[in-house]
Amino acid sequence: MTTANRLLMEGLTDAAGFLGGALAGYWLGLLLGLDIFHEGYGTASLLGIVLVGLGGGGGLQAARRWRAARKPQDAE
């Protein structure tokens, strides 16, 4: 795999993992009644924002672990 293709794959999987995790955090927040778009910055809105951030970070880490698991091992 060329360097450009490897970097493209890395960027796309990172973006997909982050977006998927952030959406999962958003939907979980909605299920718990924590709407990030509620007027003002109340406790519920801030907790919803935290869930979106944690979900995005978790999704990014999951994508990186998935990519590392698929990486071919060098034969020595």
Q: What is the pLDDT tens value at each position of the chain, 76 positions in all?
A: 789 999 999 999 999 999 999 999 999 999 999 999 988 889 999 999 999 999 999 999 999 999 999 887 654 4
CB-CB contact of 67 with 15 (8 Å):
no
How far apart (Å, rounded) are the C-alpha atoms in residues 15 and 9? 10
Nearest to 15 by CA among 73, 74, 62, 71: 62
Question: What pLDDT is attached to residue 39?
Answer: 87
Which residues neighbour 66 within 8 Å (Cβ) at sequence distance 6 or greater? 13, 17
Question: What pLDDT is attached to residue 75?
Answer: 42
